[in-house]
Amino acid sequence: MSAPNSVEEAEIQPCFVLIRPQLGENIGAAARAMANFGLSRMRLVAPRDVWPNQSAVAMASGAGRILDNTEIFGSTEDAVADRTTVYATTARHRDLANRILTPESAMCEAAGKLAAGERIAVLFGPERAGLENDDIARANAIVRVPTDPGFSSINLAQCVLLIAYEWRRQSEEIRPEGAEPLGTGLASGIEVEKLAEHYETRLEETGFFFPENKADRMKRVLRNLWSRMPLTHADVRLFHGILRQMVRGKTRG
């Protein structure tokens, strides 16, 4: 995997993460749409077809550099582990309590966050059914395009084009102003993931996830709760410490 072309490029733009894409042509068209609006950081999670993909190269039409630098991951969790804020694009209503933003407001917010030193990802689901709830549980907010309710499905590359266009509009005049002081910056995806695992493990030990047929949904809702909090590094350490102390106290008792 190749690194971004420059430090500046890595700092001032989000990465677009295509989750389980099915067609090389759509990956290539997405890369071309990103290049149209100055974006170059693409990640793929478990693409269906072999990678590198010649159909993607043919459809990229001049945006092959993006495909050359594309990073491949085995899971959504791994793909966003180094991100501090994650947006998930979906047209369907979900049973998770995420904020719902328009592409315009989401990319306006993202531009401000990147200027403050954060690391942003935008998730795009597979062509057939879109993102699954387990993917969205790792997002801080949902991006919903205001389409006709009777025909809301958008092609993967079209969705990438819409978000990339709004990114370009919102970010052209914004430049980084420096990150927050060490210790107060937002937690990365891997920090939040480890915190979620810590609480899930301890709660499972207490029999919290009951009845069994509702356990998976309860865990998903709990995981999404952590994603919706703008947790800092210090917050994560505090929550770990609270849980450890509670476990110690129970053991002493």
pLDDT for res 10 = 46
Region of 103 please: left (phi>0), alpha (psi -120 to 50) or beta. Answer: alpha
| Token reading at 154 | 């958008």
Check pLDDT > 90 for residue 43: yes
Contacts of 33 by beta carbon, 8 Å cutoff, 6+ apart? 157, 160, 161, 164
CA dihedral 109, 110, 111, 112 (to 10 degrees): 50
Note the pLDDT of residue 184.
Answer: 67
Cβ(127)–Cβ(23) under 8 Å? yes
Structure confidence at residue 4 (pLDDT): 41
- What pLDDT is recorded for position 185? 84
Lowest model confidence (mean pLDDT) among 37-41, 210-214, 245-249: 245-249
Q: How confident is the model at residue 34 (pLDDT cuts 50, 70, 90)?
A: very high
* pLDDT number for residue 130: 87
Note the pLDDT tens digit of each residue in 73-112: 999 999 999 999 999 999 877 677 789 999 999 999 999 9
Identify the H or E element spanning 24: helix 24-36
pTM of the model: 0.75
Evaluate the omega torsion of the peptide bond into residue 47 and state whether it is cis, within 30 degrees of 0. Answer: no
